Structure 1
């Protein structure tokens, strides 16, 4: 059954344009029911009759730009071709790229003389794309950020943020005396922290080309010099990842969230490792729902010592029992 709208006179708006009849067009330009004139509503992606309101076509694809322009100068400044610019490439994706295939537009192989010519063009194109040391530095660093972001499964917006942080560090001359890989790793971790994406220091260090101590030292330096606003990590952000690795039930995972929420309300989490608290909450939740986990298994997943887990889970249980009006140490024993 065809969809109809209330047959009111259709008045084309700023976002609607009338479908004009042309001899070259093969599309239907008259209403199949009343023979009225059809109009295209770009705002709703529909083609409808101006007379009876019949919706002839819907869910159409808008091939126009996503921006609006109000004068010729604004239109010229916003118009573009190709992919959108991105901070994840040292030239923001605006330069040329000569493919490695030695074939012409028809798929035919190039002659030996043409292959030599294309190789020379590739060489010069590469030289022009990285004409100075800063551009070569940026190209190497952004490649490292992309590699680490892919290995850690970071979304595109986090990698974009890490690229922006590295550009700021390069512009403010923070790199002398530090390795490109170290600063790139620090930028990846800072971007993940800013986006509240749960990645631990050990996770990032495991995919980095620098040792853990250099990475942590560089991270503190970059955050201090660039005055980055990085909030302390929330222990609850790590629960889902650790629960998946430990293969625990949904009930245990939800109870771990409850323990951490209650601990944060009382301020118990202040000054303590969020990863350690997340691991301890999972272990304590296992005791409460009779789904026991070993401290060794939790330690292996969270990369936190068993001593830390024992100390933290006891604090969580003591607070939970006090909150419920029970004597301390009851559940732990």
Structure 2
């Protein structure tokens, strides 16, 4: 007899007040495991009518499809023909049929995009996916960026501006919302779009969509820069401690967060015995060596750290 235990906190046995209930799908009964009382005699099995003995069987037999995603212009709800030359059973399609399958696939791709608006959205989301992959950002940030772009399209904020700049601005805003910021220089380099255009598009989106994002802090960049410089956890902790003291003393007020983070990492790397040059830190942080040097001198002076130059 196939039975399954369930600790259903929403149901208790009226006889003994026990929460240990047993669902017997073979008999369609819900019984108390402690006193044996039958609570229901016609429960419905909500599971599938098939069994799978491994993950491959589960994927092959499941009929629910992939989850909805904002990264596709049709939200992933349309049918998609695979580009692999294999049929449903995994067998290779004969050469004589491949030309026909190619034509079907091509026309299927065309009819998925029915008008100019959908074509614009499809192109923009493909661009967003590509730029997100280059930046190495996780899927949840790309989903958020896609949602921001869709809101911009709905409010007609794209008119008069390039798709590339709005896509990059959406990624920049999404990164700040998830608190995993990327600098404008990083996004500009990955997308090959002018940094000033991205900044202008971002300010436009922030104003029209009322994003109300808080300013980034040096803390947001410490782990990211340290990972690129191959510095360990100890360097991250020391860098964050230097940033905390700098904020408490008001040294970072009015200064760019990336510059303060870069200078803190420069000091911390020497303190933990794994020094990095200002040139190396400037390369990964996107700020100039002069900026790092200026922030370093200010922090060293106020925190009483001896000169390292």
Interval of TM-score (by shorter of Structure 1 and Structure 2): 0.7 to 0.9
Once the 2 structures are TM-superposed, how far is the Cα of residue 246 of structure 1 from its aligned partner? 2.7
Distance in 2 of aligned mates of 1:225 and 1:170: 12
Q: Say what the alpha-carbon RMSD is for the aligned residues.
A: 3.3
Task: Indicate which of 136, 145, 148 corresponds to 1:153.
Answer: 136
Structure 2 unmatched runs, 5+: 1-12, 37-44, 49-62
Once the 2 structures are TM-superposed, how far is the Cα of residue 120 of structure 1 from its aligned partner? 4.2
**What does the per-residue CA deviation read over 1:90-128, in whole Å, with 9 as the maximum and x for residues that have no partner?**
00011111233455445363574x555544433432232
Distance in 2 of aligned mates of 1:122 and 1:252: 53
Of 295-304 and 95-104, the range deviating more from structure 2: 95-104
Match of 2:202 in 1: 219
Of 295-304 and 124-133, the range deviating more from structure 2: 295-304
Inter-CA distance 20–102: structure 2 relative to 1 (3 Å threshold): closer
Match of 1:244 in 2: 227
Match of 1:318 in 2: 301
Once the 2 structures are TM-superposed, how far is the Cα of residue 307 of structure 1 from its aligned partner? 1.4
Match of 1:300 in 2: 283
Distance in 2 of aligned mates of 1:317 and 1:83: 54
Match of 1:176 in 2: 159
Alpha carbons 2:172, 2:181 under 8 Å: kept = no
Match of 1:109 in 2: 93
Helix, strand or coil at the partner of 2:23: strand
Inter-CA distance 300–109: structure 2 relative to 1 (3 Å threshold): closer
Once the 2 structures are TM-superposed, how far is the Cα of residue 221 of structure 1 from its aligned partner? 1.9
Match of 2:26 in 1: 20
The structure whose Rg is larger is 1
Structure 1 unmatched runs, 5+: 1-7, 23-38, 42-47, 53-61, 66-79, 322-329
Residue-pair matches, total: 272
Alpha carbons 1:284, 1:316 under 8 Å: kept = no
Inter-CA distance 103–304: structure 2 relative to 1 (3 Å threshold): closer
Once the 2 structures are TM-superposed, how far is the Cα of residue 297 of structure 1 from its aligned partner? 2.6
Once the 2 structures are TM-superposed, how far is the Cα of residue 148 of structure 1 from its aligned partner? 1.4
2:288 equivalent to 1:332? no
Distance in 1 of aligned mates of 2:207 and 2:94: 54
